[in-house]
Amino acid sequence: MPTTDRWTTGCEALAKELRAHLATLLPAPPRVEVCPLGLVNAFADVTAEHAPGSGAAGTVPVRVYGRHAVVGPLSVPGRRGCVRCLERRWQAARSRQLREAVELGGDTGAAGVPPQWGPFAAEALAGLVAGVVSATDRRESALRRDSTEPMRPEAPVAPAGPGTTGPAGDRTAGDSAAFPHVHQLDLADLTVRRYPLVPDPECPGCGPRERDSADAALLDLAPSPKYRPGAFRTRALADYDLPTEAFANPVCGALGPTVVLDVSSTSTSATIGCFSLRSGDYLRETFWGGHADTFRDSLRIGVLEGLERYAGMRPRARATTVRASLDQLAAEGRPALDPRRCGLYAPEFHSATGIAPFTPGREVSWVWGHSLTERRPLLVPEVLTYYHTPGLADRFVQESSNGCATGGSAAEAVYYGLMEVVERDAFLLAWYGQQPLTELDPASATRPATRQMVARLEMYGYRARFFDAALTFPVPVVTGVAERHDGGPGRMCFGAGAGLDPEAALASALDEIATDAVNLAGRTEREEPRLRAMAADFGKVAALHDHPLVYGLPEMARHADFLLKPAQRPVPLHERYGAGRTLPVSDDLAEDAAACVAAVAEAGFEVIVVDQTLPEQRERGLWTVSVLVPGLLPIDFGWSRQRALDMPRLRTGLREAGLRDHDLTDAELNPAPHPFP
């Protein structure tokens, strides 16, 4: 008998035993649907007869794989999160080997029905199903009863915000209780674990995806008061409901199966998580994490970063509706961003890879964005804002998360996205232009945590150095370098930060180098042969992590001599960023964002925003946007993908900033790849 048929027969036998036991436990036993996981690709457009299960209303879904059975989610009127969401989330959290087998086929297949599927397992599973159904019925009855009771005048209820409690103690959409739950039963030892299920926005069963449109792209930078003086956030980190167990769990974690606390880090309490996303035959691993002083904060920062990257990889909340050529859009009078303004790869890249270059007559997919400068909607090439959209052949440019940011309001997200674009443009302009920068004195920082972290790096053999990279705009930009005192392996690492508060910009750069520096020596020694091959042939610098790692080699330090060798007295922060050199700071992030947009526009650049917010972010009061500024230098990874090298700004930017009396020639450019992490 074929393996699939054996699984079908085994599921039917388990379901029969389960129904018999339920009849003895509940006066009105529910319908139960038992189906296997891992036999059918949950991401494919499966037909009804090949679908894992319907998850019909009133039916308790039971999904089985190996020694485990998963009960739920139960259907509740008005709540998203169905069994198709579970199947998709479960598959996304599996290992590469299993996903490749299920999604692409191959020699790997199911081994047969697990030995744990016996009468005793069915009895235990029946007890779990009965308990889940009874608890759900009691909870729903209580909610219905409470919703019909008149509200007492003497007990007014304030509007419920994220993570707050509404009438009768029910939890609002911002709370983890708003997620449906599933229960996993280990059929070998009868352990039961409960996990929240984040609804999949792309679920064909319950996904709320709307069609992309010009009207939906309009963005209003509504007032966004800062939650305290000196902050550049509308809410404190602790005020967001971000249940880690919903986003990182082994059954249906929306951002992967686990999050690791990096207890080996000697500088920050780092956390690391990972999820994978397929584009054609390519399954990409995407890492996320936090680098704060406590694991509690690092976990929350990590979830925010993971959601931001998950949102920016491809359109999930809105379905792409426009596919056309730039010439066709122009003929129709539809405003569109010409991707040539953002830089394209050299012809040699396309010759080597076979990926067709962009041409005005080439048909591509577009998403709607909003020009904050021109105050109008316009179409943006999908590949310029969603950096893992399916179809490698369509990616005439491989974008990164540059300019993607999350905030508690649209204005907050725009502010941080724009700061990232400005920061990386400045870094590349200085690096490839080999521009010496004014060194900043970290001892002048008023934040004790900054001075303490600098001292901690010193204890581990690294000197933390900082440089003023604000070359074009009235916004503080700080480049940070952790430089190993003895010049050994793990020689140097780089970071950067930007923002209207220079102390915050320096702290951002410090966070990056503090986390990476203490691990760089070990990684350099482990990967020394590969890194030395890169140092001898920059064409071998191909991936994101290659750029910072190759600068762990001592001999690569000479490429940074323009920055690190000039002897100079570090300048205090307050002297360098005094009045008149930076924009004034408001107590409202909308005003700060608008001022930054205006400053960028005054320099001749347009600020364009694409709203990427996921439903699960919106429900928690979060926004994620992608900010594009055509003409600024884009960050790329891989030596053959450096768009900046062929863009006009790289040659004119330093002259326009008053730092050179001429446009740069090719001979004056740094011949080495950037070291940005």
In tens, the pLDDT along 169-182 reads 333 334 455 899 99
Tokens 């880090």 locate to 265
DSSP-derived secondary structure for 300-368: HHHHHHHHHHHHHHS--SEE--EEE-HHHHHHTT--B--GGGG----HHHHHHH-PPPP-TTS-EEEEE
Band (343; pLDDT cuts 50, 70, 90): very high
**Number of residues written out for the chain:** 677
pLDDT score at 183: 97
CA distances from 48 to 40, 53, 64, 580 (A): 12, 8, 19, 66
Is pLDDT above 50 for 165?
A: no
> Which residue from 232, 338, 244 is spatially nearest to 628, judged by alpha carbons?
338
Q: Is the CB of residue 516 less than 8 Å from the CB of residue 548?
A: yes
Q: How far apart are CA 419 and CA 414, in angstroms?
A: 8
- Tally Cβ neighbours within 10 Å of residue 151: 10
Q: Give the DSSP H or E segment for 644.
A: none
Is pLDDT above 80 for 195?
A: yes
Q: Give the DSSP H or E segment for 107.
A: none
Mean per-residue pLDDT over the chain, rounded: 89
Strand partners, 194: 183
Band (110; pLDDT cuts 50, 70, 90): low
Tokens matching residue 551? 């600068």
pLDDT score at 494: 98
Q: What is the pLDDT of residues 363-400, one digit of tens each?
A: 999 999 999 999 999 999 999 999 998 778 889 999 99
pLDDT score at 275: 95
Tokens matching residue 23? 């009849």
Band (289; pLDDT cuts 50, 70, 90): very high
Q: Give the DSSP H or E segment for 541.
A: none
Selected residue with higher pLDDT from 420 and 135: 420
Helix (H, G, I), strand (E, B) or coil at 370: strand
Strand-by-strand arrangement of the 269-279 sheet: 259-261, 269-279, 282-292
Band (11; pLDDT cuts 50, 70, 90): confident
Q: What is the pLDDT of residues 628-638, one digit of tens each?
A: 999 999 999 99
Tokens matching residue 640? 């053959």
Q: What is the pLDDT of residues 411-470, one digit of tens each?
A: 999 999 999 999 999 999 999 999 999 999 999 999 999 999 999 999 999 999 999 999
Estimate the crossing angle of helix 410-432 against helix 589-602, to 10 degrees: 40
Arithmetic mean of pLDDT, 315-340: 95
Q: What is the pLDDT of residues 231-273, one digit of tens each?
A: 999 999 999 989 999 999 999 999 999 999 988 888 888 999 9
Tokens 């700004």 locate to 649
Q: How far apart are CA 6 and CA 501, in angstroms?
A: 64
Q: Which residues contact 407 (CB under 8 A, 6 or more apart)?
A: 233, 234, 413, 414, 415, 416, 589, 622, 623
Q: What is the pLDDT of residues 536-550, one digit of tens each?
A: 999 999 999 999 999
Strand partners, 495: 480
pLDDT score at 3: 59
Arithmetic mean of pLDDT, 214-242: 94
Q: Is the CB of residue 287 less than 8 Å from the CB of residue 603?
A: no
pLDDT score at 2: 57
pLDDT score at 155: 34
Arithmetic mean of pLDDT, 304-322: 93
pLDDT score at 198: 96
pLDDT score at 120: 83
pLDDT score at 141: 67
Dmax (CA) of the chain: 89
Is pLDDT above 50 for 589?
A: yes
What does DSSP say about strands 477-484 and 438-441: parallel, antiparallel, or unpaired? unpaired
Is pLDDT above 50 for 166?
A: no
pLDDT score at 56: 58
Band (143; pLDDT cuts 50, 70, 90): low
> Which residue from 103, 77, 72, 10 is spatially nearest to 251, judged by alpha carbons?
72
Tokens matching residue 493? 């690492």
pLDDT score at 168: 28
User: Distance from CA of residue 232 to its chain's centroid?
Assistant: 20
Arithmetic mean of pLDDT, 504-512: 95
Greatest mean pLDDT among 11-15, 123-127, 369-373, 579-583 lies in 369-373
Q: What is the pLDDT of residues 551-582, one digit of tens each?
A: 999 999 999 999 999 878 999 999 999 877 89
With a threshold of 0.85, does the pTM exceed it? yes
As to burial, measured by CB atoms within 10 angstroms (0-12 exposed, 13-18 middle, 19+ buried), residue 558 is exposed
Q: Which residues contact 198 (CB under 8 A, 6 or more apart)?
A: 81, 85, 89, 179, 246, 247, 252, 254, 616
SS3 labels along 464-529: EEEEECCCCCCCCEEEEEEEECCCCCCCEEEEEEECCCHHHHHHHHHHHHHHHHHHHHHHHHHCHH
Measured torsion, CA atoms of residues 548, 550, 552, 557, in degrees rounded to the nearest 10:
-100
Helix (H, G, I), strand (E, B) or coil at 386: coil
Arithmetic mean of pLDDT, 52-64: 74
Tokens matching residue 249? 């769990």
pLDDT score at 87: 96
Q: Would you give the DSSP letter of residue 235? A: S
> Which residue from 411, 345, 471 is spatially nearest to 607, judged by alpha carbons?
411
